[in-house]
Amino acid sequence: KPKHHGINQLKDVRNLRSIAEERAGAKFTNLRVLNSYWVNQDATYKYFEVILIDHSHKAIRRDARINWIVNAVHKRREKRGLTSAGRQARGLRQRGHKAN
């Protein structure tokens, strides 16, 4: 019976912040996702602000601190788990011998 199939308590593999980044990146395909942070929550929802960058803007292209995101290798970072929330969901927060 469905009662014994064990589907009721399945949890998401990724965290909600990573899912929010992915949804924002899918909605605004002309922008690149840099990062996100928690804003608020209630009994039903969690709210995150996602920092999106227009990689075609001249101010971004000229700024040496952020123009790394212009390169094509950084397309769809949120889908590949390369943002801070994505790395946390993949268990890559620590490095070295402590990570095992």
Structure tokens at 3: 């009662």
- What does pTM read for this prediction? 0.85
Q: What is the mean pLDDT of residues 56-66?
A: 97
91 φ/ψ angles, rounded to the nearest 5 degrees:
80, 30
Domain regions of the chain by residue span: 2-89
Q: Residue 44 and residue 59: Cα distance in Å, rounded?
A: 39
Q: Residue 76 and residue 73: Cα distance in Å, rounded?
A: 9
The length of the chain, given as a count of residues: 100
Structure tokens at 59: 């101010």
Q: Dump pLDDT digits (tens) for 5-51.
A: 777 777 888 999 999 999 999 999 999 999 999 999 999 999 999 99
Q: Residue 86 and residue 33: Cα distance in Å, rounded?
A: 11
Domain 2-89 class in CATH: alpha beta
Residue type, 70: V
Q: Residue 17 and residue 68: Cα distance in Å, rounded?
A: 23
